[in-house]
Amino acid sequence: MNTSIHQLDLFHTIALNPTHEIKRMMRLTVSKSHLSREEIIDRMNKISVDEGMRTTISKATLDNWLKDSDVGRMPSPAWLTIFCHVMDDVSSINAMLNPLGCIALDKDKRKLLTWAEIEFEKKKVTKKPGWH
């Protein structure tokens, strides 16, 4: 019988409730941006109208989404997607995916993955040693 023991790490555990991390990543994304909060809201609202959504957001709504103390106010998946698109940054979505062992790929990482898959297939076809 083969059993292995896995020591739990007290300092690197991943919480399944990503609320605080999503909000933290949104705040970091906004702080790194050259856009003002008003510009972010304008761009998000334009997309929501173009997409046929029935609501728009205000500066107060965005501010509440960014407040760590207001855990009850979170963007819906649609608004989080729009936020990430406007900010050209998927770190807030990654905060939601990380506890599941997944990541969202930005454009550059997606290109790199596509290249790696092509290279892997080329190596597999030519059956070069060292590639399984």
**What residues does each domain of the chain span?**
19-101, 105-132
Read off the pLDDT band of 127 (50, 70, 90).
confident
Q: Give percent above pLDDT 70 in the chain.
A: 86
How much is the pLDDT for 15? 75
Count of helix runs (H) and strand runs (E) in the chain = 6, 0
Confidence of residue 123 (pLDDT cuts 50, 70, 90): confident
Which tokens hold the place of 76?
């819906």
Residue 13 pLDDT exceeds 70: no
pLDDT at 10 over 80: no
User: Residue 119 is encoded by which pair of tokens?
Assistant: 């290279």
What helix, strand, coil percent values describe the chain, rounded to 5? 60, 0, 40
pLDDT confidence tier of residue 89, bands split at 50, 70 and 90: very high
Higher pLDDT, 29 or 100: 29
Where is average pLDDT lowest: 17-31, 81-95, 117-131? Answer: 117-131
Q: Which residue, 86, 85, 82, 103, is CA-closest to 94?
A: 103
Phi-psi region of 36 (alpha: psi -120 to 50; beta: other; left: phi over 0): beta
Minimum mean pLDDT among 2-6, 19-23, 49-53, 83-87: which range?
A: 2-6
Residue 94: helix, strand or coil by DSSP?
Answer: helix
Mean pLDDT of 63-76: 93
